[in-house]
Amino acid sequence: MRLMIVGQLEGHISTAGKIALQRGAKVIHCEDTVEALGALRNGKGADLAMVDIKQNIGAFIKDLEKERIHIPVIACGIGTNDTRGAVKAIADGAREYVPLPPDADLIAAILAAVTEDHSAMIADDPAMGKIVALADKIAPSEATVLITGESGTGKEVMSQYIHRKSRRTGGPFIALNCAAIPETLLESELFGHEKGAFTGATARRIGKFEEAHGGTLLLDEVTEMHPALQAKLLRALQEREITRVGANDPVKVDVRIIATSNRDMMQAVRDGQFREDLYFRLNVVNIPLPALRERPSDIVKLAQFFADKYADANGIAKKDISAAAANALQTALWRGNIRELENTMHRAILISAAEEIEPDAVFLDAGSHPPLSPPSRPKEETERPALQNPGAVESLIGRPIADVERDMIIGTLAHCLGNRTHAANILGISIRTLRNKLSQYKDEGVPVPAAQ
């Protein structure tokens, strides 16, 4: 996680930086947005920018858009008195507003909303043994690696594991989510651009290939890349050189590529959505990650790791997982894999009311439960299997899904005292999705907790 802090905030800026450093972030400080824009152009990349509300945040965001620099912006300011300035910053495109002096838990929640914790590798299940052994064997090489698996199985965690075990561990690890960046911006993100390459390109900008020079470049969800751009990527891999947008002279790069995909890539090739030659270029070594349900002995260990992580993040006491809750976790289907498990344990540690995390705190979506086997004979109503939390389930029967979703969102937001970032993280949705939902509810006349 790379955090860029922009502006001078009467000493609080250093406090925010120290909190971010303690949470594992790499921090860059720029005096103003002009310096920040120059740093970003020159390859000092960042995953998130926290900008002083006294800076012209709207102009900064417009400059980023003109330069095709894809980075979320968080506004921050002293105290909570400047409500008008905070509202304007959000209207100008800031993702969130953070009052200063900074709250450690709030900083942690913001960092968690932008990036996941990739430092831990829990892989004790036999299904993962061969996978980790293969990763250990190929990590020191220069081979391109293709990591495949369902969404949420930990492909980026494995990518960072391979980087740490490689001879490039001292170099940068740069991740680019090909699905999260608009098609019109992705080429500039990858290869950079020259001054005047397009409207708004007021200076040269270094792309991710050059930023990752001497290290590893992760192309996350590479199958979402447009076919026209796939051809340019293929050339970069073959020639070990890139050409910035608007330039003619190639630039040599020394980068190891790791690519990931949650799709059937051969089917994507057959459907004409992915180039066959690029597929074979990427698929030098394939690491297929199993679904969470295929590595059952890791489920409780991962669940405890996430419960402890979010207990620390929210300043509450750690709790062990009860035997009954562990059984519920191990019998779930986990269609969202580790990501779904993480969100489940975040909710559980917040709402648990017992000394240990109880089954009622681990409320799973209906789709997470395995289907019940059909009874061998008809049973009376009183003979039906008891629900783990009958009151909670029965209260949902007969209600529209939209109403249940609305109550869940409003309730979680109220629990978080109106903090949008906390609520989105707990619900497992993006802040943008949360804001859209809240806007819809306001239009419908539903009271929404005020932002804090």
Domains of the chain: 2-114 (3.40.50.2300), 126-290 (3.40.50.300), 295-379 (1.10.8.60), 398-452 (1.10.10.60)
- Residue 76: CB partners within 8 Å, gap ≥ 6? 9, 16, 50, 51, 52, 53, 97, 98, 99, 100, 102
Tokens of 257: 């590529």
The share of the chain scoring above pLDDT 70, in percent, equals 85
- The answer to whether residue 324 scores a pLDDT higher than 50 is yes
Helix axes 401-415 and 431-443, enclosed angle (nearest 10): 110
- The answer to whether residue 395 scores a pLDDT higher than 60 is no
pLDDT band at 398 (very low <50, low <70, confident <90, very high): low
Mean pLDDT confidence for 387-396: 47
- The answer to whether residue 132 scores a pLDDT higher than 80 is yes
Give the pLDDT score at 11: 64
Least confident of 25-39, 212-226, 340-354, 379-393: 379-393
Q: Which DSSP letter does residue 288 get?
A: E
Q: Which DSSP letter does residue 422 get?
A: H
Least confident of 17-26, 64-73, 191-200, 213-222: 17-26
Is residue 429 classed as helix, strand or coil in its secondary structure?
coil
Closest listed residue to residue 193, CA positions, set 184, 181, 206, 183: 206
Give the pLDDT score at 382: 38
Tokens of 234: 């293929």
CA distance 409 to 283: 41
Tokens of 142: 């220069």
Find out whether 221 and 176 touch, Cβ atoms under 8 Å: no
Residue-wise pLDDT for 63-88, tens only, equals: 888 777 778 898 888 765 567 778 88
Residue-wise pLDDT for 335-362, tens only, equals: 889 999 999 999 999 999 999 999 999 8
Give the pLDDT score at 13: 61
CA distance 256 to 253: 10
Is residue 77 classed as helix, strand or coil in its secondary structure?
strand
Closest listed residue to residue 45, CA positions, set 24, 30, 66: 30
Which strand (E) or helix (H) includes residue 48?
strand 48-52
44 conformational bin, left if phi > 0, alpha if psi -120 to 50, beta if neither = beta
The share of the chain scoring above pLDDT 90, in percent, equals 40
Find out whether 125 and 292 touch, Cβ atoms under 8 Å: no
CA distance 265 to 356: 43
Tokens of 93: 């495109």
CA distances to 24, 149, 206 from 312, rounded to whole Å, are 14, 30, 37
Mean pLDDT confidence for 133-159: 95
Which of 418-439 are b and which e, b meaning 16 or more Cβ less than 10 Å from the residue's Cβ? ebbbbbbbbbeeebeebbebbe
Residue-wise pLDDT for 6-25, tens only, equals: 987 566 666 777 777 776 67
Give the pLDDT score at 370: 52
For CA atoms 261, 191, 160, 310, give the dihedral sign. Answer: negative
∠391-394-396 over CA atoms, to 5°?
115
CA distance 210 to 190: 9
Give the pLDDT score at 378: 41
Mean of the per-residue pLDDT values of the chain: 83
Q: Is the pTM of this model over 0.75?
A: no
Which strand (E) or helix (H) includes residue 37?
helix 33-41
